[in-house]
Structure 1
Amino acid sequence: MNDWDRPVFDMREPLALEMEPGHDGPLFLAIAEAITRDITRGRLKPGARLPGTRALARELGVHRNTVDAAYQELLTQGWLHAEPARGTFVAQDLPQGMLVRRPVPTPMDPVAPRAGLAFSDGAPDPKLVPDKALARAFRRALLSPVFRAGADYGDARGTSSLREALAGYLATDRGVVAEPSRLLIARGSQMALFLAVRAALSPGEVIAVEEPGYPLAWEAFRAAGAEVRGVPVDGGGLRIDALEAVLARDPRIRAVYVTPHHQYPTTVTMGAARRLQLLELAQRQGVTLIEDDYDHEYRFEGRPVLPLAARAPEDLPLIYVGSLSKLLSPGIRLGYALAPEPLLTRMAEARAAIDRQGDAPLEAALAELIRDGDLGRHARKARRVYRARRDLLAALLGEHLAGRATFDLPAGGLALWLRCEGRSADDWAKAAGQAGLTLLPGMRFALEGPAPQAFRLGYAALDEGQIARAVEILAQSVPG
């Protein structure tokens, strides 16, 4: 039986990985590269379970921590998905085009990209997760009499304990008045966005989105039956004048999707005047606003900026979407949505049809982390770490790329928007890829208009040494 005929993965058999000879990087990256090759060539398929770190370490003859580091790298990049108490799996939602059987690069191929460093789209560092506190809370949730008796189990909106804890958290941290009955817990913000559009729009209606913007949100909206229409952004976020013009031209637009806190991907914050204009326009036109506040916790300086949901008129249909995955780890899939009762009811009905309930023990554990203050302490620690990494990246970019690229220092978030000066971002990304650095050029975030010549540099999952090396490669790869 050759590799192509072998089962995806059988827990009774070892997983044979072929690592490139002569790999000059860390061993954990060689393991991560071998796994990604098996995913892209089709040997490991979406949803396939990977062996535990102890079993794979034994098979490869390496330390367990090395395999764990490889898994964490792939979790951060989105190749893998971890489920507490179940294991680690190949992600189901890999980007389109990755699941094609491709030739495996050989060491003799001078143009084959090498696995190495990657600027993500803004993923957090999973090494900072308060794993001990989370493990204790998860164990208590599993052993609690309430959980064992089956109470508080089966509600499509999520466990009442987490909805109550989140309601208090949102009121204290973000000024958002949230009744627990109007909250829905989802398996990540991606599910929440899908449910939001499924509830707010009928098939064939249109949602206006920011451009450049968030492609995974667009895919969720299309999967829910909506058409997607781009509206340009500028240095202040979504352009309200352009949105008003689009609404006047197309009466089928029934919703607007925005990321006002840190616009994705450019990181700019929408100012107070423009926020008020957006709320007034949405109310006047009778459209639903979907606010994606994906990384609110990461504000490093300046006065706190409250969400649109904190000051929206009561009669304005606004669905507020957030995520705890950005605060903890991409492997912990937990998002939430706050919506008016009619919309939330429709969201819960749609959720029940595809996923009867969430992960009750995980939700109970996270509720405990919120109530005990562990989540707040983690957020404060993470902000200190990420601010230092942002400042280091900004200093190094200013030192090594002056005159070749520019950026505005973001007040928060986990990424930086680097604009190329007179150069093709695609060519630059290809050159950097050959040197071992993965970049996300502007074409990844374009919907209808021309691709911005820029990169989204998600730095949070890189330590200081990795940031320095990444900037070094970036500077050495500047196209002529």
Structure 2
Amino acid sequence: MPAHPLALDIEKDPRGPLFLAIAEAITRDILRGRLRPGVRLPGTRALARELGVHRNTVDAAYQELLTQGWLEAEPARGTFVAQDFPDDMAAPVAISVPAEPVMVPPPLAFTDGAPDPTLVPDTALARAFRRALLSPAFRAGSDYGDARGMLVLRQALVSYLASDRGVVADPSRLLVARGSQMALFLAAKAVLKPGQAIAVEEPGYPLAWEAFRAAGAEVRGVPVDAGGLSVTTLEEAIVSAPRIAAVYVTPHHQYPTTVTMGAARRLQLLDLVERRGITLIEDDYDHDYRFEGRPVLPLAARAPADLPLIYVGSLSKLLSPGIRLGYALAPEPVLGRMAAARAAIDRQGDAPLEAALAELIRDGELGRHARKARRVYRARRDVLATALREHLGDRIAFDVPAGGLALWLRCPDVSAECWAARAGESGLALLPGSRFALEEAAPQAFRLGYAALEERQIARAVEILARCWPG
């Protein structure tokens, strides 16, 4: 059966998404009798060409109508008007376009590096959480706990940090927070006075900048190159701007470029911090994800004991963004100020969750989960790298990261913003380099967080990315 030609009356400037406007036009033709029950519609490619839109927009319109029952799809035959409509049908249009513009969540998204929540050891966590809730200590509790967090978790964490990362400390120097975002805010609040500035990597992590600004600090960008933060430029900035009292770095996998700071530059940075008397805030947000080679030890593992260094980490990256648990290791006077600030805004943490996570660390469940997650994420990283090479070739550039949950894709010959807009119209959400720029020009690049996507979704996402190439 040949496809029925369509002459759709689509609103010139639709108030909602274009695919809904196309769906509405098809519905009107069905209701008016222009499209009879059982009529075969044009393929998505043909209709997209006729309308001058992307094929995925037409596909989204067809999917909307299939979901609502206006159309029927028959494998290997095509898409048809549903058979169960009366021939004399004449009724108001059933699909309405919203009066205000709406955002339709795209079905695929490269995140900023979020983990896959489906991998969480939920059964073990639920058992541990239940035991914590039913424990005599929790039921008998008649007062608030320590603002630094439950001692049992702080003890488990310092043991974990010592064995896994070479960071040796006492539980009294560790504070548990509701995610690393809170830990960064508390750190800035404890070491920066109003009017002082903190140097940050650029491109860098915008949420950290917001935490520092919320603490009253000025944020100053320092460029990142293939070796991470430029220590030479940092020192020049400190000399020219004496108000810089701290520096924030992500040396393990720089956010967003994923580069690892080398040993020589790490030593230069530690020397600079000591000579200039500024505070170093190290964010080791994804230390657990190293796929090749030996893990690179944190700056905190090699720093002198008296160096003003705050080490920030998170279990949210290891488990799920919804499980809000971060921590900070700091010198005792600094940690005391952090705990006081935390008590003023939050009093204490989530005691049952902290107790449950302490149990997962102690019994090895967290370590087993980390090993499983590394295998899964390494496979997904390799699928992404292979697909990018196959579909985009020399039009883009990237280095396969040795770890982490994201890849930094460089596209120097095209506008990353334009590419992201075209991909968004086709159902793929991207994070272009402009999201990570502070003062300098935005890099023509994307941060492709792949961990939360299954391998088939990664392949589909890269197909869309290649099809939307703006060059």
TM-score of the aligned structures, taking structure 1 as reference length: 0.77
The partner residue of 2:213 within 219, 222, 233 is 222
Query: What is the CA deviation profile of residues 191-235 of structure 1, one whole-angstrom value per residue up to 9, with x for unaligned ones?
Result: 000000000110110000000000000000000000000000000
Query: What is the CA deviation profile of residues 307-344 of structure 1, one whole-angstrom value per residue up to 9, with x for unaligned ones?
Result: 00001011110000000000000000000000000000
Measured at CA, do residues 147 and 413 of structure 1 come closer, stay the same or move farther in structure 2, by a change above 3 Å? same
Deviation at 1:103, TM superposition (A): 2.8
| Corresponding residue for residue 343 of structure 1 | 334
Q: Is the 8 A contact 1:147 1:153 kept in 2?
A: no
The partner residue of 1:405 within 396, 406, 409 is 396
Q: Distance in 1 between matches of 2:231 and 2:245?
A: 16
Moved more, 399-408 or 162-171: 399-408
Query: What is the CA deviation profile of residues 52-97 of structure 1, one whole-angstrom value per residue up to 9, with x for unaligned ones?
Result: xxxxxxxx99xxxxxxxxxxxxxxxxxxxxxxxxxxxxxxxxxxxx
| Corresponding residue for residue 380 of structure 1 | 371
Deviation at 1:304, TM superposition (A): 1.3
Deviation at 1:151, TM superposition (A): 7.3
Partner AA of 2:131 in structure 1: R
| Corresponding residue for residue 122 of structure 1 | 113
Q: Distance in 2 between matches of 1:423 and 1:114?
A: 25
| Corresponding residue for residue 269 of structure 1 | 260
SS at match of 1:382: helix
| Corresponding residue for residue 344 of structure 2 | 353
Partner AA of 2:101 in structure 1: V
Q: Is the 8 A contact 1:114 1:434 kept in 2?
A: no
Partner AA of 1:156 in structure 2: A
The partner residue of 2:382 within 391, 394, 397 is 391
Query: What is the CA deviation profile of residues 281-305 of structure 1, one whole-angstrom value per residue up to 9, with x for unaligned ones?
Result: 0000000000000000000001210
Q: Distance in 1 between matches of 2:264 and 2:141?
A: 49
The partner residue of 1:297 within 248, 268, 288 is 288
Partner AA of 2:341 in structure 1: A
Q: Distance in 2 between matches of 1:421 and 1:242?
A: 24
Q: Is the 8 A contact 1:153 1:159 kept in 2?
A: no
Partner AA of 1:329 in structure 2: S
| Corresponding residue for residue 240 of structure 1 | 231
Measured at CA, do residues 379 and 152 of structure 1 come closer, stay the same or move farther in structure 2, by a change above 3 Å? farther
The yes-or-no answer on 1:103 pairing with 2:94 is: no
Deviation at 1:154, TM superposition (A): 1.5
Partner AA of 1:103 in structure 2: E
Mapping of 1:55-454 within 5 angstroms? 103-105=100-102, 115-150=106-141, 153-454=144-445
Partner AA of 1:267 in structure 2: T
Q: Distance in 2 between matches of 1:303 and 1:402?
A: 30
Q: Is the 8 A contact 1:237 1:260 kept in 2?
A: yes
Partner AA of 2:300 in structure 1: A
Q: Distance in 1 between matches of 2:305 and 2:158?
A: 17
Measured at CA, do residues 173 and 426 of structure 1 come closer, stay the same or move farther in structure 2, by a change above 3 Å? same
Measured at CA, do residues 360 and 391 of structure 1 come closer, stay the same or move farther in structure 2, by a change above 3 Å? same
Mapping of 1:32-47 within 5 angstroms? none
| Corresponding residue for residue 461 of structure 1 | 452
Q: Distance in 1 between matches of 2:306 and 2:355?
A: 32
SS at match of 2:393: coil
Q: Distance in 2 between matches of 1:163 and 1:422?
A: 49
Q: Distance in 2 between matches of 1:302 and 1:241?
A: 28
Q: Distance in 2 between matches of 1:199 and 1:171?
A: 25
Measured at CA, do residues 154 and 474 of structure 1 come closer, stay the same or move farther in structure 2, by a change above 3 Å? same
SS at match of 2:333: helix
Q: Distance in 2 between matches of 1:203 and 1:154?
A: 30
Deviation at 1:149, TM superposition (A): 1.5
Deviation at 1:153, TM superposition (A): 4.6
Please provide the CA RMSD for this pair.
1.9
Partner AA of 2:112 in structure 1: D
Partner AA of 1:434 in structure 2: E
Equivalent pairs counted in the alignment come to 381
Computing the radius of gyration from Cα coordinates, the structure with the larger value is 2
Deviation at 1:117, TM superposition (A): 0.3
Query: What is the CA deviation profile of residues 371-422 of structure 1, one whole-angstrom value per residue up to 9, with x for unaligned ones?
Result: 0000000000000000000000000001111121110010000000000031
SS at match of 2:248: strand
Partner AA of 1:209 in structure 2: V
Measured at CA, do residues 245 and 340 of structure 1 come closer, stay the same or move farther in structure 2, by a change above 3 Å? same
Q: Distance in 2 between matches of 1:412 and 1:126?
A: 18
Q: Distance in 1 between matches of 2:171 and 2:141?
A: 20
Partner AA of 1:134 in structure 2: L
Unaligned runs of 5+ residues in structure 1 are: 1-18, 24-59, 62-100, 106-111
SS at match of 1:316: coil
Q: Distance in 2 between matches of 1:148 and 1:127?
A: 31
SS at match of 1:403: helix
Partner AA of 1:197 in structure 2: A
Q: Is the 8 A contact 1:146 1:152 kept in 2?
A: no
Q: Is the 8 A contact 1:114 1:433 kept in 2?
A: no
Q: Distance in 1 between matches of 2:342 and 2:288?
A: 27
Q: Distance in 2 between matches of 1:339 and 1:368?
A: 24
| Corresponding residue for residue 473 of structure 1 | 464
Partner AA of 1:104 in structure 2: P
Measured at CA, do residues 332 and 20 of structure 1 come closer, stay the same or move farther in structure 2, by a change above 3 Å? farther
